[in-house]
Each structure stands twice: as C-alpha cells, then as structure tokens.
C-alpha cells in the first residue's frame, strides 16, 4: 500500500469496528485523520493512540443524520488541515430485528436517517470541499452484503444499504468527470461490535453454521481487512475504479 503522506482523510463511525481500523490504517500510512462519531470518549481514545504512534488526528463528535453537524465536521477538517483528500462514510446503525408488521416508524427513521441520509449529507459537504479545492479526491461509502441480499426482519437496514448502492453510483457519475472517485465497500460478516450483537441475538450455533456453510473462508473477517480495501480504493492504484461495489465477504454472496 503506498504512503499517504500529506493527505487528509475523514472517517465517520470511527469510534469502533471498521471505522476505527480505517482511521488507524490511514494514520499508519502518513495521512492526517479526522475521526468522527457520536461517542466522544471513544474518539478521544483513538486520537490519543494515533498520536502516541506518531500520527496526526483530531476527533469531531458528529451525528451524521444532522446536516449542521456534518457541515461543521467538514468545515473543521478544512480549518484544521487545509484540505480533504479522502472521505470514508462508515457511520451506521442496524436497528432492530422484527417483522415489518411490528417495525416502529421511529426505528425506520433512525436507521434510514443514519445510514442513507447520513451518507447523502456527508457526500454533499465532502464533495463541496473537494470541488472547491480543485485537487480531486476519493470517497468510499461502507455498505454491506445487505446492499444486495435481503434478510427477514431487517427491512430498514436492508433498505438503507440497498439505497447506498444507488446513491454511490449516481454521485460517481456526477463527480468522476471532476476528478473525484466514489465507490462503496460491502463487507460480509466482520468481527465488529455490530456483528457481536448479532451473535448474541441469534446464538452461537446459528452464527457458526452460517460461517461454516455459507462463507467460503469459514471465518468472520477482520476490521483491518476491510480497512485495507478502503485504503486501496482511496489510493492512486485504484485510479480507474469508480462507481464500483467491492464485496470483501469471504465468498458469502457467491453461495446465495
């Protein structure tokens, strides 16, 4: 992976899981990092750890479903580091697992507000900053295998992740001629707090059966493996890749 010295990377949902691993990976390769999420304490710990390794980072507590928060996040990025090269829109919320007949409107609104509206708001302000600077950039959204596959009782989450595919390809078509690439990474079962909650909900036996019979690699992925995919898509080595969904899932979707 090439170094990213002098570049600036913004990562939402950076307090844990894939977002945290991605922020750490950018910093390890020399990029200055803006870590955003709602959990301020976890962000502060992340920044302290990055700086202890010689990196540069700031934390900006942010609710991506609130336009003013997202606008402030991007403004603070430019004010602090003077530019924005890479943006990873990873903030997400899984909601609850229940039949559509029991799904509360409030759950639908929160899931779509974070996952789909939040991605829209982030790209809106990130793209503005990149276009104003005129030096191009790369945006990577974080979807899911549920961007392609339905799952019973998970309708709001699946709908939000499907919507991110259309949003990504549409914005790519807008921005690619202006030097900004937009892609989406759609991970499978990754060992993150979100998936650990799934294991608790469905039970170890059911979860392990899926890993052994539906995932070719016979294991859950690691957050760092997804971070590597994201950094590749941001790098110049992916210069001809835009509007694409990369699916690091250990072969899961091939079995469906």
User: In the predicted model, is pLDDT for residue 1 greater than 70?
Assistant: no
Question: Which CATH number do you get for residue 242?
Answer: 3.40.50.720
- Global pTM reads 0.94
User: Is 201 a member of any domain?
Assistant: no
In a domain, 138, yes or no: yes
What domain range is 143 assigned to?
A: 8-190+223-255
Residue 96 lies in a domain: yes
Maximum C-alpha span of the chain? 52
- Residue 250 forms part of a structural domain: yes
**Residue 185 near residue 141, CB atoms below 8 Å:** yes
Q: How many domains would you assign to the chain?
A: 1
Q: Taking 90 as the threshold, does the pLDDT of residue 206 lie above it?
A: no
Cα–Cα distance, 123 to 167 (Å, whole number): 10
Q: Which of 125, 157, 207, 252 is catalytic?
A: 157
Q: Is 207 a catalytic residue?
A: no
Instruction: Give the model confidence (pLDDT) of 32-80 as tens digits.
Output: 999 999 999 999 999 999 999 999 999 999 999 999 999 999 999 999 9
3-state secondary structure 161-217: HHHHHHHHHHHHHHHHHHCEEEEEECCCCECCHHHHHHHHHHCHHHHHHHHHHHCCC
| 14 within a domain of the structure (yes/no) | yes
Instruction: Tell which wins on pLDDT, 196 or 255.
Output: 196
| Residue 31, domain member (yes or no) | yes
| 252 backbone dihedrals φ, ψ, rounded to 5° | -60, -50
């Amino acid at each position: 992976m090439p170094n990213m010295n002098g570049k600036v990377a913004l990562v939402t949902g950076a307090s844990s899981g894939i977002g945290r691993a991605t922020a750490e990976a950018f910093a390890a390769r020399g990029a200055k990092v803006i870590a955003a999420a709602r959990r301020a304490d976890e962000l502060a710990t992340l920044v302290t750890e990055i700086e202890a390794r010689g990196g540069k980072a700031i934390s900006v507590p942010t609710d991506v479903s609130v336009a003013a928060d997202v606008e402030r996040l991007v403004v603070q990025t430019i004010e602090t580091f003077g530019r924005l090269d890479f943006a990873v829109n990873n903030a997400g919320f899984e909601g609850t697992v229940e039949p559509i007949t029991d799904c509360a409107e409030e759950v639908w609104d929160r899931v779509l507000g974070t996952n789909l509206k939040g991605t829209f708001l982030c790209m809106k302000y990130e793209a503005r900053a990149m276009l104003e600077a005129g030096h191009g950039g790369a945006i990577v959204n974080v979807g899911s295998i549920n961007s392609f596959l339905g799952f019973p009782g998970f309708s709001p989450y699946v709908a939000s992740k499907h919507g991110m595919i259309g949003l990504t390809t549409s914005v790519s078509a807008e921005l690619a001629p202006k030097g900004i690439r937009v892609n989406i990474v759609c991970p499978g079962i990754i060992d993150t707090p979100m998936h650990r909650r799934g294991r608790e909900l469905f039970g170890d036996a059911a979860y392990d059966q899926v890993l052994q019979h539906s995932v070719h690699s016979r294991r859950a992925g690691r957050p760092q493996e997804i971070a590597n995919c994201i950094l590749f898509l941001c790098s110049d080595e992916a210069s001809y890749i835009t509007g694409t969904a990369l699916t690091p899932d250990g072969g899961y979707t091939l079995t469906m």
